[in-house]
Chain A
Amino acid sequence: MKKLAMLNLGLVAATGTLLVALPVCAHHAVNAQFDVTKNVLLSGELTKVEIINPHSYIHFDVTGPGKKVTSWSIETGAPGALRRAGLSLRDALKVGQTYKFVICPSRNGTPTGLMSGITLPDGRSFTFGAETNVEAAKDLTGGN
């Protein structure tokens, strides 16, 4: 009985550790993947919008020097959160149009990033994230 109680206690302890560890790792995921101290301005043609939870994705073709086209995949917030911030992905983003966007680039060098700002063809600008990212995005897009 005593041995069993010890075994059970071990099970509880192991489970507890696992459940505490998970949110911690979730909390650091964004910072681990993207360098949130950097903000980069890009301009590209929208190729695809993925309106999914808990993160939406927006894909752009960016034409660089020598007309080399790079396809960027940009992570942004949940569709509902963006809507509450005034940006409806479905209404505001049209495939084929050109957008200016500010991202925190990935740490591994792939053409991916976390969106900190976007400027629509009609001139409306939206900024997201921590205060420093919002300020940087406003500076880069010359937005309000």
Chain B
Amino acid sequence: MGWLSWLESLPLSDWVATSDWGYALMLAIHSIGMAAIVGLLLVLDFRVLGYASAIPISAFRNFTPYAWAGFFLNLISGALLFASTASRLVNNWPFLAKMACIIAAGATTYWLWRELRTRSPSDFEADSHSNVALIIASPLAKTLAVLSTALWLSAIVFGRLIAYVMDHAILNGQ
């Protein structure tokens, strides 16, 4: 437990935990970052599954930097939120489930991107501007899109549960 207490005792962690607005600010940033990552990736997943087929799948590549921006926003705000409550969070099952979901979701998204990039030429059609666009996703890509949606949404739900399970644990003397 030593390093977790040390992490909590750092001035920045303490500012997040006990200042007037530190925790609320971190939560706000975390929500905005979450909207960017999960929002953009859900739209990609839904397109791969066949929605909004007028949009070429290859067009989604333009959103990659914004999804990454959301991810780094959440990596930083999440690290600070963790540092403010570290010793409680490592024993909190929704927190651990959320971390597992994010790792699995990230790997699934990576796999999906790779699958979309490596399709055979027959999967491509020329659009009205004569640009080549991937129109129909493979069954593997569709499976990955369903998995990605399920994992990202689970990460959000487990994230919501963290505080309630923590309260319950404390009130039950754990």
Contact = CB atoms under 8 A, between A and B. Distances in A.
A88 B167 CA distance: 20
A4 interface: yes
Contacts of A83: 18-20
A90 B18 contact: yes
A84 interface: yes
A132 interface: no
Contacts of A70: none
B163 A55 contact: yes
A92 to B, nearest CB: 12
B49 to A, nearest CB: 5
Interface string B73-117: 000000000001100100000000000000000000000000000
B3 interface: no
Interface stretch (A37-45, A46-54, A121-129): A46-54
A55 B166 CA distance: 9
Contacts of B166: 52, 55
Contacts of A73: 170-171, 173
Contacts of B153: 15, 18-19
Interface in B150-171: 153, 156-157, 160, 163-164, 166-167, 170-171
A52 B84 CA distance: 8
Contact of A53 (B23, B149, B173): B23
Nearest to A2: B50
Nearest to A73: B171
Nearest to B167: A55
Given A52-B85, A84-B20, A26 B160 contact: yes
B46 interface: yes
A144 interface: no
Interface of B: 17-24, 46, 49-51, 84-85, 88, 142, 146, 149, 153, 156-157, 160, 163-164, 166-167, 170-173
Interface of A: 1, 4-5, 8, 11, 15, 18-19, 22, 26, 29, 33, 50-55, 57, 73, 75, 78-80, 83-84, 88-90, 106, 110, 112
